[in-house]
Structure 1
Amino acid sequence: MNSISASLEWLFTEAGNTTADRIRAAAAHGLNAVEIWGWRDKNLDDVRKALDETGTTLLSTIVDPQLQITNPATHDDYLIGVSQSLDIAKQLGALGTLWWLPGRRCQVPIVPISIRRSSQCSHVRPN
Structure 2
Amino acid sequence: MKRCACIDTLYTELPFEERFAAAKKDGFESVEFWDWRIRDLKKVRAAAEAAGIAISGFNGDNDFSLVDPEQESAYLDALKASLEAAQAVGAE
Q: Where on the TM-score scale, by shorter chain, does this alignment land: which range?
A: 0.7 to 0.9
Q: Which has the larger radius of gyration?
A: 1
Displaced runs of 4+ in structure 1, greater than 3 A? Answer: none
Does 2:69 match 1:48?
Answer: no
Structure 1 portions without partners, runs of 5+: 96-127
CA contact (8 A) 1:7 1:35 kept: yes
Which has a greater percent of helix? 2
Corresponding residue of 2:27: 30
Q: TM-score, normalised to structure 2's length?
A: 0.86
Corresponding residue of 2:75: 78
Corresponding residue of 2:61: 65
RMSD: 1.5
Structure 2 portions without partners, runs of 5+: none
Corresponding residue of 1:8: 7
